[in-house]
Amino acid sequence: MRGMAIVRVILFFSFEHEGVYYPCALVEQFRKVRHDPVTGMWVVQPDIIRGRHKTSVLHLNTFYRGAHLILVYGKKKLPVKFHFSYSLDAFRAFYVNKYIDHHANEIAF
């Protein structure tokens, strides 16, 4: 993915230090697992250390564009009342969808 990383924004915040304004985000990191030759997409997983998500604070200038993640489904069925908003916490791996946006494909792949 040309040196780019996938992160999940948890919190946007800003602060001022010595008169300089810093817009930032608290993020959870994902790690690249492999490139899937069938789909042509990268597979990423949450970067978890000792049972906790690896987090960082990033300046907003380091963000380039949004990424679309597709769940890597297993063989088990989801509960009937499963809400989509739990997807990033419930699934272990995701495809980085390079087909969603021509410009994302052009830049990241």
Neighbours of 94 (CB within 10 A): 23
| Range 47-52 average pLDDT | 94
Cβ(41)–Cβ(32) below 8 Å: no
Instruction: Name the H helices within 1-109.
Output: 87-90, 102-108
Q: What is the pLDDT of residue 4?
A: 87
Closest CA to 61 of 21, 3, 16: 21
Neighbours of 15 (CB within 10 A): 9
pTM of the model: 0.84
Calculate what percentage of the chain has a pLDDT beyond 70: 93
Residue 105 has pLDDT above 70, yes or no: no
Measured CA to CA, the distance from residue 41 to residue 103 in angstroms comes to 15
Q: What is the mean pLDDT of the chain?
A: 90
Q: What is the pLDDT of residue 107?
A: 61
